[in-house]
Structure 1
Amino acid sequence: MFSLLNIFRVIAFLEGISYILLLFIATPIKYFGDDEQYVKLLGMPHGLLFVTYIVLAIMLKSELKWDTKQFGIVLLASIIPFGTFYIERAYLKPQRDG
C-alpha cells in the first residue's frame, strides 16, 4: 500500500501543485501586488517537495528500470510547470496498470 512508487506519486502530485501555485499565483502577487507573503508561505514547502521528488526519483530509477534518457526526463519534469503530471501519465501509470 505504501510502496515507494505510491509515495513518489503523491509527492509528484503535491510538488506539481505547489509549483503551479508558486509560479502562477504567488509570484504575480509578489510583483504586481507588492506582497511577498505568498511566496514566503509556498516557497519552503515547494522546496522540500522538490528535493523529496528528486531523491525519490533517484531511489526509483533502478526499480522502474529507467534508462538515462527516461531518468533525465523525470528529473527535468520537476522544473517544468505541469511536468510532474506528465510523468504520472507517461511513466508511472503504466507501472500501476501493468
Structure 2
Amino acid sequence: MLSSYWCFYFSAVSVAIILCPAGPVHGALFLFFVINALRVSIEQQWEFKVTTWKILVACFIPFGTFYIDYKILRYIQTDQN
C-alpha cells in the first residue's frame, strides 16, 4: 500500500506531506545487520555465550554497536592478505 508510506506532519502554520519510506528501510537494514552478525559469528567460530549474544543484544540498544565495537570487536583478529 502506497498510502502507508506517507508521513503527515501538522504544524500550526501549514500542513506538509512528504514521502517517508524510512520505516521499512530501517527495518530491512536492521534485519540485514542481524543476519550478517549471525553469519560472521558462524564463519569466525565465535562462542555464542561469549561474543555473539552480546552483539545481538547491543543492536537493540541505541549506539550499542559502537560500544561493542570498542570493547569486543577491536580485539578480534581478522585475516588480511
Q: TM-score, normalised by structure 2?
A: 0.59
Answering whether residue 60 of structure 2 is matched by residue 60 of structure 1, we say: no
Match of 1:47 among 27, 33, 39: 27
Consecutive unaligned residues of structure 2, counting only runs of 5 or more, are: 1-7
Answering whether residue 57 of structure 2 is matched by residue 80 of structure 1, we say: no
Q: Structure 1 or 2: larger strand share?
A: 2
Consecutive unaligned residues of structure 1, counting only runs of 5 or more, are: 1-29
Shift of residue 58 of structure 1? 0.8
Larger Rg: 2
**Is the partner of 2:62 in helix, strand or coil?**
coil
- Equivalent residues, number: 67
**Aligned pairs (5 A) from 1:19-38:** none
User: What's the Cα RMSD here?
Assistant: 3.1
Name which structure has the greater RCO, CA cutoff 8 Å, separation 6+: 1
Q: TM-score, normalised by structure 1?
A: 0.50
